[in-house]
Amino acid sequence: MRDTLTAPPARTQVPPRHLTGPNDLSLPLIEQLLDDAAVFERGDAEAAPLRGRLLATLFYEPSTRTRFSFEAAMHRLGGQVLSAENAAQASSAAKGESLEDAIRIVSGYADAIVLRHPEVGAVERAARAAEVPVISGGDGAGHHPTQALLDLYTIKKELGRLHHLRIGLAGDLRHGRTARSLALLLSRFPGNELIMISPPELRMGTDVLDQLNEARVDETDDLHGAITGLDVLYQTRIQAERFASLDEYERYRGVYVMTVDVMHRLPEHAILMHPLPRAGEIDPLVDADPRAAYFRQARNGLWIRMAVLDWAMGR
Ligand code: ASP
């Protein structure tokens, strides 16, 4: 019997390439991933480099862009996907299985795992339990490194550089993982100035502020005042699901809304970004403005996630 069984492919002994947060991204790696994404976007890459490989996407929180773009990226690279889009209910988590056990099991079936989880630090825990690369799709109010990469890609593509820029990050900076990760990555490039625009209670956490040594940082709650000197305005959603009560969330909902009128204050050369989904922060009438870059930004997620999967599982 024994020799009729086919052994599973041997696992390599090199440590897996995890991407759990911005600290896994050195400047050379960021530059490599941005260059690779551009190659994928141009269609110049080798065909199907991940043929025969399997990606598992485990999402314990809702997602549209991140999950679909990772899955589309994997298919476009010639690989295949196993997906739990509602892992909290549809996996054995509902029976009380620990994240570590689930990851150990999925590690035995797939060649890499993309994980989104509501707890800060969950992706790092998963990486410690996994034998295959674990890539963050967002951990609660912690970080979202591939979103930050696609944001860098978008800024570079739209404005031609990633240095000596004035970038306003606006909204719920306390809970918004995309702004937290983007601030850290932008601070690695010279001469950038970050203007943190938020209500005082929703300020950027000191864990991030303390790591922004390379960048000049200003904080304000005045969007209209800050907007006139920006190269990029990065709007974010007030993160309803991170507040203790709906009443508390309601206090901040609608605090900064981009309208056609407010857009008049944004310089002509600047761009308006948003990780999406929007929950009223940008009036749909703004979409027709050529500076509204958020749908182009979402599309760029595909190229960046192709580059990340190819790096994690490929060569
Ligand atoms: N889609 C982004 C995230 O998963 C932004 C948001 O949800 O507000 O963090």
| pLDDT per position as a tens digit, 266-282 | 999 999 999 999 999 99
Alpha-carbon radius of gyration of the chain: 20
Model pLDDT, residue 1: 46
Res 121: pLDDT = 97
242-255, pLDDT tens digit by residue? Answer: 999 999 999 999 99
pLDDT of residue 91: 80
Q: What are phi and psi of 220, to 5 degrees?
A: -155, 160
Give the Cα-Cα-Cα angle 220, 120, 298 (nearest 5 degrees): 65
Pocket of ligand 1 (CB under 6 A): 138, 144, 177-178, 237, 275
Q: Which of 120, 237, 300, when mutated, tests ligand 1's pocket best, judged by the most ligand atoms within 8 Å of its CB?
A: 237
The residue ranges of the chain whose pLDDT is under 70 are 1-13, 315
Residue 61 CA, closest ligand 1 atom number: 4
Contact status, residue 193 vs residue 259, Cβ threshold 8 Å? no
* Residues with catalytic function: 65-66, 95, 116, 144
Question: Closest ligand 1 atom, CA of 65?
Answer: 1
User: Which pTM value belongs to this model?
Assistant: 0.94
Distance 276 CA to ligand 1 centre (A): 6
Residue closest via CA to ligand 1's atom 8 equals 237
Question: Are the C-beta atoms of residues 99 and 93 closer than 8 Å to each other?
Answer: yes
Of 18, 24, 17, 16, nearest to 184 by C-alpha is 24
Return the biggest CA–CA distance within the chain: 75
